[in-house]
Structure 1
Amino acid sequence: MSPDKKLRSSDWFGKSGKDGFIYRAWMKNQGFPPDEFEGKPVIGICNTWSELTPCNAHFRELAESVKRGIWEAGGLPLEFPVMSLGETLIRPTAMLYRNLASMDVEESIRANPLDGVVLMCGCDKTTPALVMGACSVDIPAIVVSGGPMLTGKFRGEDIGTTDVWRFAAEHKVGDLSTEAFREAEGAMCRSAGHCAVMGTASTMASMAESLGISLPGNAAIPAVDARRKVLAHRSGRRIVEMVEKDLTLSEILSREAFLNAIKINAAIGGSTNFIVHLTAIARRIGVPLALEDFDTYGSQVPLLVNLKPSGEYHMEDFYYAGGLPAVICELQDHLSQEPVTANGKTLVDNNRDAPCYDRDVIASIEEPFQREAGITVVRGNLCPDGAVIKTSAASQELLRHRGPAVVFETIEDYHARVDDPELEVTPDSVLVLKHVGPRGYPGMAEVGNMTLPKKILRQGVDDMVRISDGRMSGTAYGTAFLHVSPESYAGGTLALVENGDMIEVDVENKRLHLEVSEQELQRRRTQWNPPPHDYERGYVRLYIDHVQQAHLGADMDFLAGGSGSAVRRESH
């Protein structure tokens, strides 16, 4: 820390008189000796532990490792809770509350005597929420992810979250008994941690490492591996050093760091949710990032990682094969060497000689698993502000396709009719789901990878073209066009699609086109009204009124940028 810059916490604990007395006296009821308040950096541990968030249920123990590192480096660790978002239980979707959690994080950091913060992230939305909130305050911060769970084991087979969709489809048509279905349920999640595949949680942990806001190796160490605790301990040490050097998030998160993350995400076959979250983070820290950047810098990057849902293996295998450092090593000639990372070195310097131990899991850049496998951005009259598709998880024969629309007006309409034997649908049809975007759901739920109609599954078909303004689980797969913008609830063209309309998809030429004349679309638009919402109060009302479209990160319009770390009013 520069000699002319004082610790932020000294505005609380360094005060004399009544105010200083109050700040220190009440803290001392926890047994802190007086010298803990004499010029030591105060480090907040922002903990998303919750028994309602199974992915993060081991965080109380992991936080103890962080604390040991902070004490060891001469800091004062103070743990605090924030809203925790678990994908599996929270309704209607955790994405609805990402922005609320980010506000909780931002205000908790700003309002308290913290010089730096350790962000304990795990389940999908906890990582972007914590990073977004911390960016808006911009004090030194470091991410510690919770790590993936061990690979599931079921009847001699390795399984993970991706297999849920397969098991559900097999159970639907009677190929998997209810007894076996329940047996698989008990065999999949056999340790602490988040999803064992390259879903959104692992993508977010990889994002933190590739942005440089975590220590090297953060992405893939299994949750129950002792080395996860070692990384947490070292992160506790490092955050104290970051405070001393005044290494803030804005010093790390340059545009070049974001472009590095886009390239790495393509190489690992990361989730499409990466786009929404990275865009929101960029807008909080003030870095220009457009939807085209994901295409320009990511769509031509080869797929180097053979992980489900795009491949065969699991996160545990990825770690043993060398993890994200081995991928970064392969990509080093394609990455910017300018951005500094949390440990003070560049991303390339950290990983220049990282070894790979298994080429079945991590390919070389000379012999990748796919030559071009990043997330592709498509446009057309159906999505003038863009839509995305994860080509590595799609069926190659469907990347160029033309078929009639089978339209579901809402998610309730979909559930009511998808398995109706009378549904007019063929394998060539294009399934269209409306009103599941940021405002329409609300919350932009992970329903874009619609399960196929039962009558189609019984024909042995396992993929169809699907289009929606919603998202897809990072653990899912299929030829799904997602994040259609503007969304249908906002009056986008998607709202005007009718059964039987022909839709053309051409991923190579980045085109998604509704074969309906502009005159006919205008006629339909005059007769269209958005479905009514019954949210009249509270946070959800605020969300609907202020959430931005997917191509802008689905953040609230009033949350772009940040207010910094200053507290404008004294408390006493």
Structure 2
Amino acid sequence: MSAKRDPAALRSHRWFGAADLRSFGHRSRIRQLGFDLADVAGRPVIAIVNTWNGLAHCHGHFPARVEAIRRGVLEAGGFPVEIPVMALPENFVKPTTMLYRNLLAMEVEENLRSLPVDGAVLMGGCDKTTPATIMGAISAGLPAIFMPAGPMLRGNWGGKILGSGSDVWKYWDEKRAGNISDAQWADMESGIARSDGVCMTLGTAMTMTSLAEVLGLTLPGATSIPAPDSGHARMATATGRRAVDLVWEGLRPSDILTAASFDNAIIASAALAGSTNAIIHLIAMARRAGIPLWLDRFDELSSGVKVLADIRPSGAYLMEDFFYAGGLPAFLTRIAHRLDLSTRTVNGRTLGDNIAEAKVWNEEVIRPEQNPVSFAEGLAVLRGNLAPDGCVMKPSAAEPRLLKHEGPVLVFDDYDAMARAVADPDLDVTPDHVLVLRNAGPLGGPGMPEWGMLPIPVKLLRQGVRDMVRISDARMSGTSYGACILHVAPEAFIGGPLALIRTGDVIAVDVAARRIAVQLTDDELLLRRAAWTPPPPRYPRGYGAMAAAHIGQANTGCDFDFLQRDGAILEPEIH
């Protein structure tokens, strides 16, 4: 256990230890909850920030994990308090959980600021809960440690191993092509999600929890443990114990997060071929910590990084296999020469210390650099007259023939129009066409939904086509794949160049050159801009209206302008 500071220096002492009328009220209400003053006096109060509700499919084990964390906090001499916050179950929230990431971050921050707590365990995993809880904790400025949900077990169907999302998209195309029956599809529904835990592919959930570990915010090895594994409960208890020590040490996220730790996360994401959503979330998290991370840094650091994790959608295996192969610590040994191993982590050791003894047990799952999964890069940032502020692509998940492509455009202004068109067997489309979906960005979506992996038109599916160039100001699921160009900035809804193109225009993409352009003159673009009419706002009131007034574009992390750090974090006085 860490050396204790003066208990009177604890933040919670201002509620429970002072000799005034307000503290009388605080102490009496603790007694009302069934506790004695000895339960809280002089002990660090640890908030267990729980992103669980009855529809939180990936977090179904969190009530049990709360008890494991609580045990660890008590063992270390702290006082645990569960604080429920928004769960954001990815599959159920409409229009998209991304719309509410910043709301959850605000909820976490304000709970930690306003309540008598000294530190926090952040429970998350399902896509937006990881960046949101971390963003809130960074801004609140209290000691905090992240407990990842862990991946679910492998899916199974008809003797085949299934992976969340990635195999759904693949078999859905086969069903649309007439190769899978309704009965087979129903069987697949029953076999693809077999346990608690997040998607077991390298989707957004596993990408972000992995990067939380690289950033130093979890215990080493915490991310890779499957949710149903007994080791996951033990990790939760250890996380609770460590949360108490963090308070005595005064170690906050801002003491751990540096430009170097974010560089490490970018490099790791590239070698994992992680979700493109990580770009948006890492930028937002960095800026909460006062680190000016920009889109070009991702391209700079990702260049030349080979994909070494043979995990779907870019590979063949699943996260359960990754765990048995050594997990994230073993994986990081493969790219250690690219990392700053001196960065700090929540266990008080450096990243280098944490991976020093890690070993790779399966070189098919965690590849050496001389035998990568793909020589294609895990990330590319493209720019041009169609995306002056940048857009992103995962080259390793695309058919190589499409990494340099030129073709006529088929433009859709909204998702419903696109869905109707691609289902039309008589659609005027060829494999060379470039499909474009616009008005799906942070404001246009609203909330930048995961619509970026536009479906292949059924006409082409029946011809055997399984990939084509698709462009959008939307995001796509981290479990998705294909030649999808995403996060076009600025978005069409606010008048970005994507708003000006028309069906029949020609777009050229050259990933190696990092270029994307519509073949129109500047004069023609100016004429079209003059004729463009802004669409009406998506929300006239409420949180949606607030989000529209303050949200940034994809290249700046989609955070609210008033939440990004500006100078020191100042905690208001309690009166």
What's the TM-score, normalizing by structure 2? 0.97
Question: Match of 2:421?
Answer: 417
Which of 466, 484, 494 is residue 462 of structure 1 equivalent to? 466
Which of 205, 229, 253 is residue 249 of structure 1 equivalent to? 253
**2:71 alignment partner AA:** R
Question: Match of 1:568?
Answer: 573
Which of 216, 241, 244 is residue 240 of structure 1 equivalent to? 244
Give per-residue Cα distances to partners, 1:100-150, cap 9 Å, x unaligned.
111111101100111110000021011111011111111110000111110
Offset of residue 569 of structure 1: 4.1
Question: Match of 1:298?
Answer: 302
Offset of residue 353 of structure 1: 2.6
Which of 105, 109, 114 is residue 111 of structure 1 equivalent to? 114
Task: Report SS of the residue matched to 1:15.
Answer: coil
Offset of residue 498 of structure 1: 0.6
Using the alignment, how far apart are the partners of 2:115 and 2:335 within structure 1? 40
Offset of residue 372 of structure 1: 4.7
Question: Match of 2:521?
Answer: 517
Question: Match of 1:371?
Answer: 375
Offset of residue 567 of structure 1: 3.3
Task: Report SS of the residue matched to 1:379.
Answer: strand
Structure 1 residue 71 corresponds to structure 2 residue 74: yes
Task: Report SS of the residue matched to 2:384.
Answer: coil
**2:9 alignment partner AA:** K
Using the alignment, how far apart are the partners of 2:540 and 2:512 within structure 1? 44
Structure 1 residue 49 corresponds to structure 2 residue 52: yes
Question: Match of 1:279?
Answer: 283
Task: Report SS of the residue matched to 2:389.
Answer: coil
Using the alignment, how far apart are the partners of 1:565 and 1:418 within structure 2? 52
Task: Report SS of the residue matched to 1:215.
Answer: coil
Alpha-carbon contact 1:267-1:327 (below 8 Å) kept: no
**What is the number of residues matched between the two proteins?**
570
Which of 121, 133, 140 is residue 124 of structure 2 equivalent to? 121
Using the alignment, how far apart are the partners of 2:346 and 2:574 within structure 1? 31
Structure 1 residue 15 corresponds to structure 2 residue 10: no
Using the alignment, how far apart are the partners of 1:180 and 1:223 within structure 2? 27
Task: Report SS of the residue matched to 1:467.
Answer: strand
Using the alignment, how far apart are the partners of 1:70 and 1:299 within structure 2? 43
Which of 336, 342, 352 is residue 338 of structure 1 equivalent to? 342
Offset of residue 29 of structure 1: 2.5
Using the alignment, how far apart are the partners of 2:69 and 2:538 within structure 1? 44
Structure 1 residue 406 corresponds to structure 2 residue 407: no
Alpha-carbon contact 2:446-2:538 (below 8 Å) kept: no
Point out 4+ residue stretches in structure 1 off by more than 6 angstroms.
none
Question: Match of 1:496?
Answer: 500
Question: Match of 2:61?
Answer: 58
What's the TM-score, normalizing by structure 1? 0.98
Using the alignment, how far apart are the partners of 1:560 and 1:500 within structure 2? 41
Question: Match of 1:91?
Answer: 94
**1:568 alignment partner AA:** E
Using the alignment, how far apart are the partners of 1:39 and 1:430 within structure 2? 64
Which of 27, 31, 44 is residue 24 of structure 1 equivalent to? 27
Alpha-carbon contact 1:440-1:488 (below 8 Å) kept: yes
Task: Report SS of the residue matched to 1:478.
Answer: coil
Distance 1:25 1:176, change over 3 A: same
Structure 2: gaps of 5 or more residues: none
What value does the CA root-mean-square deviation take over the aligned residues? 1.3
Using the alignment, how far apart are the partners of 2:252 and 2:411 within structure 1? 48
Question: Match of 1:486?
Answer: 490
Question: Match of 1:174?
Answer: 178
Using the alignment, how far apart are the partners of 1:403 and 1:322 within structure 2? 44
Offset of residue 218 of structure 1: 1.7
Structure 1 residue 184 corresponds to structure 2 residue 188: yes
Offset of residue 5 of structure 1: 8.0
**2:295 alignment partner AA:** L
Structure 1 residue 359 corresponds to structure 2 residue 393: no
Distance 1:28 1:565, change over 3 A: farther
Question: Match of 1:138?
Answer: 141
Which of 232, 254, 263 is residue 228 of structure 1 equivalent to? 232
